[in-house]
Amino acid sequence: MAESSPTLIIGVMAVQGAFLEHQVALKGAAEQISQRPKLVVREVRHAADITSDIQGLIIPGGESTTMSLFLRRNNMEKPLEEWIGQKNHVTWGTCAGMILLSKQLEHQKEGGQSSLGVTDTLVSRNYFGRQVDSFEADLAITNPELLNDPHQKKEYSRGVFIRAPAVLEVNDPSVEVLAAMRLSEKDAPVVVAFRQGNVLSTAFHPELTEDLRWHRYFLNMVLSCS
């Protein structure tokens, strides 16, 4: 008899931002994974929603200042940090989520912003903001798993950047850079996607494109951790 498909419980922080788009993308991505996991998506809004049976968590884009205040006021910081710290849990931060996860921040709003202190990175908030608020760019993909994705053969992934951050410093060898780009010929490249252990961070918004490979990559991370 064929092995039954695994169930994956994925939490999506639903405080603000593109959490609905992430849910749609997750469903599409799950159908394309060979194990055909059964996906259960839970919206996370309260401390009580952060339960240990959730296997993967997405912290979406939005406004990191608002999100960090919301987390603090609702006593969600500590439970989130504890949840993220468990080795069978996988976390993905997109844009504001990348900011919230970084240990070091630059250009954060004064007094208003704390981080969950997870990734060994220096992330600059609104890094691209001075030039243009929003833009799209093709990102060169080198990671073999992302590159050999059977559903997306392109060597480039379309990145949608909305007042996006960038990683200016990587402070631990366990950080694997997944995508980098430069603002112009004159600028040094900055990291816009990376993985550190069970944490994935992207400065851009894959949930706003047709390219589901980042969601598949995330679900595969969850599958291999469970």
Dihedral angle sign, alpha carbons of residues 145, 148, 151, 156: positive
Q: Of 59, 63, 18, 71, give the one whose Cα is nearest residue 165.
A: 63
- Alpha-carbon distances of 55 from 2, 58, 108, 152, rounded to whole Å: 24, 10, 30, 25
> In angstroms, rounded to a whole number, what is the distance separating the alpha carbons of residues 79 and 7?
23
Query: Does 22 help bind ligand GLN (rule: CB under 6 A)?
Result: no
| 3, 95, 145, 225: the active-site residue | 95
Task: Single out the segment in contact with ligand GLN by CB under 6 A; choices: 33-41, 92-100, 175-183, 191-199.
Answer: 92-100
Whichever of 42 and 163 has its CB closer to ligand GLN, that residue is: 163
Whichever of 33 and 96 has its CB closer to ligand GLN, that residue is: 96
> In angstroms, rounded to a whole number, what is the distance separating the alpha carbons of residues 218 and 111?
33
- Binders of ligand GLN in range 65-84 (CB under 6 A): none
**Any idea what the Cα angle at residue 161 is, between residues 158 and 162, rounded to 5°?**
145
In 18-165, beta strands by DSSP E: 38-44, 56-59, 90-94, 102-106, 119-124, 134-140, 156-162
CB of 159 to ligand GLN, least distance (A): 12
| 22, 77, 207, 215: the active-site residue | 207
Query: Does 64 help bind ligand GLN (rule: CB under 6 A)?
Result: yes
- Binders of ligand GLN in range 194-223 (CB under 6 A): none
Known binding positions: 62-64, 125, 162-163
Query: Does 58 help bind ligand GLN (rule: CB under 6 A)?
Result: no
CA-based max dimension of the chain: 59
Q: By rule CB under 6 A, what string of x and - marks binding of each residue 139-168 to ligand GLN?
A: -----------------------xx-----
Active site residues: 95, 205, 207
Binding site for ligand GLN (CB under 6 A): 61-64, 95-96, 99, 125-126, 162-163
